[in-house]
Every structure is written in structure tokens, then in C-alpha cells.
């Protein structure tokens, strides 16, 4: 499976607009977390950064979408897809 095919699959797991919105909120929280860690020179904060989005994203997969997060099957590709979806939402390629 190519990354493009995986991203198309990833989008099928994010059909609910509130799921996508909470992913965006989680990604923005992740960016804030990174800035906080850099600003205050806290290395542990930076190590935890990849996990900031999960409470936002996974709760909506379980409660709204009723599916398993993509990170359960391919964690690295799912993380990249999170950022691609954020870019697509901000550029209005994907509705939110």
C-alpha cells in the first residue's frame, strides 16, 4: 500500500466533522507543547510531544466514529497523516 492509498484509508476513519475538529485542536496543542518545551528548555516535554494529540483524537474515534484509530495499525504513517490532514484542512482541501 502506498502512502497516498493509506491517506485515503485514513480519511475514511475521519468522516465525522467533530473528529476532524478535535484532531486539529490536538495538532494545535501539539504545536503549543513544542513551543513551551523549547521556550522553557524542558527536554521531557519535547519527548512527550508525539502523544499530546492522542487524548483529543482517540476519544472521538471511540465515541463518535466507533472505529479504531489509524495509529493502531501504522503509527508512523498515521502521525504523518495527522499533519497532512491538518494541512488539507487549513488549505480547505478537506472540510472540517
The tens-digit pLDDT sequence of the chain (96 residues) is 999 999 999 999 999 999 999 999 999 999 998 888 888 888 787 788 878 888 888 888 898 899 988 888 898 999 999 999 999 999 999 887
* Residue 74 backbone zone (phi > 0: left; psi -120 to 50: alpha; other: beta): beta
- Please state the domain count of the chain: 1
* Burial grade of 30 (CB within 10 A; 0-12, 13-18, 19 or more): buried
Q: What is the DSSP letter of 61?
A: I
Within a domain: 96:
no
pTM: 0.82
- Of 82, 74, 35, 92, nearest to 56 by C-alpha is 82
Within a domain: 61:
yes
- Which residues span the domain enclosing 34? 3-90
Amino acid at each position: 500500500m502506498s502512502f497516498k492509498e493509506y491517506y485515503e484509508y485514513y480519511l475514511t476513519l475521519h468522516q465525522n466533522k467533530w473528529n476532524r475538529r478535535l484532531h486539529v485542536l490536538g495538532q494545535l496543542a501539539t504545536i503549543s507543547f513544542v513551543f513551551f518545551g523549547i521556550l522553557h528548555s524542558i527536554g521531557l516535554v519535547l519527548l512527550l510531544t508525539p502523544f499530546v494529540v492522542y487524548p483529543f483524537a482517540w476519544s472521538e474515534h471511540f465515541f463518535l466514529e466507533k472505529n479504531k484509530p489509524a495509529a493502531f495499525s501504522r503509527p508512523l504513517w498515521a502521525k504523518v497523516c495527522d499533519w497532512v490532514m491538518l494541512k488539507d484542512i487549513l488549505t480547505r482541501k478537506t472540510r472540517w
